[in-house]
Amino acid sequence: MLLVTRLAPAQEALRNAMAGEAAGTARQSEPESRPYSIKSGDFRLLVVPSLSLDWNDNIRTSKDDRQDDLILRPLVQLNASYPSLSVIC
């Protein structure tokens, strides 16, 4: 595997560099387009509530005295972002 290497043509290297540059630009503009629930200055907090419902038909895994159970799980996901400062020299 080490002996089988392929050199990338110059045009392919240029395309890869341009794709990396476009990805970097997209990452810089990304914080402005992110949704948020609470915003204070540059700090953004997104609160995502969800609800999970599970049902188990034999909670004790017994053959004789089977009992079922309904499990309700409320969940809250917190996503916080605070973009770092960029220094241009």
Task: Give the model confidence (pLDDT) of 19-53 as tens digits.
Answer: 777 766 655 555 566 678 889 888 889 999 999 99
The mean pLDDT of 58-76, rounded to a whole number, is: 88
Residue where the block lists tokens 């038909």: 57
Picking from 13-27, 60-74, 75-89, which range would have the lowest pLDDT averaged per residue?
A: 13-27
What is the radius of gyration, based on Cα positions, of the chain? Answer: 26
Other CB atoms within a 10 A radius of the CB of residue 74 amount to 8
What pLDDT band is residue 77 in, cutting at 50, 70 and 90? very high
- Comparison of pLDDT for 57 and 84, the residue scoring more: 57
pLDDT score of 37: 87
